[in-house]
Amino acid sequence: MELSSSDQELMTEINTALVRFINSDDTHLQLEPMNSYRRRMVHKIGTKYKLTSESTGEGDSRAVRLGKTNSTAIPENLNHNRVIDRGIEIFYAKRGAEIVLRNDGSFGISLKERESRILDRRTVEDGEFRIRENKIICKQDSNW
């Protein structure tokens, strides 16, 4: 079955949020309220990571809470391995600007995006940066 572009975007957002959660020290993740279709997708995807899940709240405030188990892991076949790397290209921003690198490969000043759509966020003190291996790199970094 082919997923619509909005469903594919939702799955990418969920997977990105779950990878970030699993790599964190947090034991639980409370997601924002969502409709029943989105909650069902979160529950299904959560099982692939071996997370516990439960719906919390009522009505429009209903959301999913996920928890880690001893078996929690990132699936090997997860299609999130896209690496954004712009080589030695140098990009410029206003000194002290906060730059975000988004999942789709675009980057620029932060526009209050959802955390799940962002690969990296960094304040660029000197106004120059590069994109390497899904990270914003500045001159003072060893891998400039």
Give me the CATH number covering residue 27.
3.30.1370.50
pTM of the model: 0.54
Residue 40 resides in a domain: yes
Whether residues 15 and 59 share a domain: the answer is yes
Whether residues 15 and 57 share a domain: the answer is yes
- Helix and strand counts by DSSP (H, E) for the chain: 2, 9
The overall longest dimension of the chain from CA atoms, in Å, is 51
Residue 73 resides in a domain: no
| Residue at token pair 């960094």 | 122
Residue 112 resides in a domain: yes
pLDDT 10s per residue in the chain (144 long)?
A: 455 667 777 777 888 889 889 989 999 999 999 999 889 989 999 999 999 999 999 999 999 999 999 999 988 766 455 677 888 899 999 999 999 988 778 888 877 766 667 888 999 999 999 998 889 999 999 988
Which residue segment(s) compose the domain that 107 sits in? 91-137
Residue 27 resides in a domain: yes
Element spanning 12, H or E: helix 5-22
DSSP conformational letter for 25: S
Instruction: State how many domains the chain has.
Output: 2
